[in-house]
Amino acid sequence: MDGGMPNVPAIPLSPTATIELFEQAVATHSRRLLGIARAIVGTRTSPEDIVQQALVNLFEHRQRYDWREPGGLMRRAVVNEALRILRQPRPAPLEFDEHPGGDSPVYGMIDRETVVQVRKAIDRLPEHFRAALVLCEYERMDYVQIADVLGASVPQVKTWLHRARRQMARILQEFVETERNDRRH
């Protein structure tokens, strides 16, 4: 369990066993970690770089942790690295360069445009709102887990999620209204 206790091994593992468990953890959790990073940093930086740096940091200090249940530790490391990157001054935002695919070009374009607008809306959220929303909606973590990962209280997490959802609704409503106005003219 990844609850409030530090992730310190009860029984020290050999260096070889630690490396083997670390490698298994990376193989098991990399895809999910990449999804978390992508959702938090959006187009600001490479999610692969976020995950790689978080894993390098964990590997450098691998003896400190119990790798028998590493999911929470790895999520925290990726979220912390993503938030660290987001705190740095950022260049101008990049535009999405995505092309719709699928059998029906019209439906593919509509679906793709919706996804693009939701991603842009998430990207406009303050970093803690974004991280809390991603962990709640995409990772399906409960409030206690999110609070643990973000180093916040449960009431703070609830506030961030409420405000994130409210801002998302406002941003997406602006998109819908713009689309309606464009169709009328």
* Best mean pLDDT range from 85-89, 90-94, 104-108, 137-141: 137-141
Q: What are the DSSP calls for the chain, one per residue?
A: --SSS----SSPPPHHHHHHHHHHHHHHHHHHHHHHHHHHHTTSS-HHHHHHHHHHHHHHTGGGS-TTS-HHHHHHHHHHHHHHHHHS---SPPPP-----SS-HHHHHHHHHHHHHHHHHHHHS-HHHHHHHIIIIIS---HHHHHHHHT--HHHHHHHHHHHHHHHHHHHHHHHHHHHHHHH-
Domains of the chain, by residue range, sit at: 1-92, 101-185
Condensed to tens digits (0 to 9), the pLDDT of residues 114-134 reads 778 888 888 888 888 988 988
For residue 55, pLDDT over 80 is answered with: yes
pLDDT at 98: 45
Read off the pLDDT of residues 67-93 as tens digits, 9 standing for 90 and up.
888 888 999 999 999 888 887 654 444
> How does 132-165 read in b/e, with b if 16+ C-beta sit within 10 Å?
bbbbbeebebebebbbbbbebeeebbbebbebbe
pLDDT in tens, 2-54: 444 455 545 777 888 888 999 999 999 999 999 999 888 887 778 899 999 99
CATH 1.10.10.10 for domain 101-185, yes or no, is: yes
